[in-house]
């Protein structure tokens, strides 16, 4: 089983850097008139990994969403692990795929070391428990690689404090947008009153 090399890290750094910082969730947040609401949305969309873990759990069960949004088992497919095995993987990933990791500040060497340690733990556990987890040998490597991808992605968000710097930039933009919108509303209200005042004077001047 291969562990991510420094070249892999560099490639994924470039892929992560190429992500549009003004994607759907950020555009939606920029439209929020209140910075508190925007910050809450930012945390929800970018720091909460509940949906990621939930989707991965269904992936391990070999379930897909149908047109109604319900999760259904792929016809003829067997789960990659039983419930005990799936529970162990999700429980192991949960402390890693969270804001404590995302908002940290890690050097590349630390990321390589931590990811390697996590993957070794997963490999050893699945190897020694594959019978208890009812895991087929063909599912071993794909499952480990999927776990590695999730873990590495989480750590890359903390590379050189990238996630924290990114959030600071977004919140600053939101505050600037909020201040600009407030200023425009205030100016609009002022000129509306001024116009109304002029209209009153004109009306009075027309009295015969």
Assess whether pLDDT exceeds 90 at residue 88.
Answer: yes
Q: What percent of the chain has pLDDT over 70?
A: 55
| C-alpha distances in Å from residue 136, one per residue of 83, 129, 164 | 14, 11, 40
| C-alpha distances in Å from residue 119, one per residue of 21, 91, 146, 180 | 29, 14, 10, 48
Assess whether pLDDT exceeds 70 at residue 63.
Answer: yes
- Distance (Å, whole) CA 143 – CA 133: 13
Assess whether pLDDT exceeds 70 at residue 22.
Answer: no
User: 166 and 20 in contact (C-beta within 8 Å)?
Assistant: no
pLDDT band for position 144 (50/70/90)? very high
pTM score, two decimals? Answer: 0.63
- Distance (Å, whole) CA 60 – CA 43: 27
pLDDT band for position 14 (50/70/90)? low
**Residue 94 dihedral angles phi and psi, to the nearest 5°:** -55, -45
pLDDT band for position 75 (50/70/90)? confident
The predicted pLDDT at position 39 comes to 58
Give the DSSP letter string of 163-186.
Answer: HHHHHHHHHHHHHHHHHHHHHHHH
> Residue 129 corresponds to which tokens in the numbers above?
């428990």
């Amino acid at each position: 089983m291969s562990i991510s090399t420094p070249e892999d890290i560099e490639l994924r750094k470039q892929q992560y850097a190429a992500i549009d910082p003004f994607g759907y969730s950020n555009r939606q947040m920029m439209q929020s008139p209140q910075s508190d609401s925007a910050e809450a949305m930012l945390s929800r969309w970018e720091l909460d990994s509940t949906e990621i873990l939930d989707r991965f759990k269904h992936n391990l069960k070999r379930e897909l969403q149908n047109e109604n949004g319900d999760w259904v088992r792929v016809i003829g497919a067997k789960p990659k692990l039983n419930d005990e095995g799936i529970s162990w993987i999700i429980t192991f990933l949960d402390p890693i795929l969270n804001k404590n990791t995302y908002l940290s500040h890690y050097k590349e060497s630390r990321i390589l070391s931590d990811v390697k340690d996590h993957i070794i733990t997963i490999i050893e556990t699945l190897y020694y428990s594959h019978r208890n987890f009812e895991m087929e040998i063909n599912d071993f490597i794909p499952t480990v690689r999927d776990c590695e991808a999730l873990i590495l992605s989480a750590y890359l968000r903390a590379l050189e404090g990238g996630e924290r710097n990114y959030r600071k930039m977004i919140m600053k933009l939101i505050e600037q947008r909020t201040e600009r919108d407030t200023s425009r509303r205030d100016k609009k209200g002022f000129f509306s009153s001024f116009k109304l005042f002029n209209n009153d004077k004109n009306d009075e001047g027309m009295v015969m």
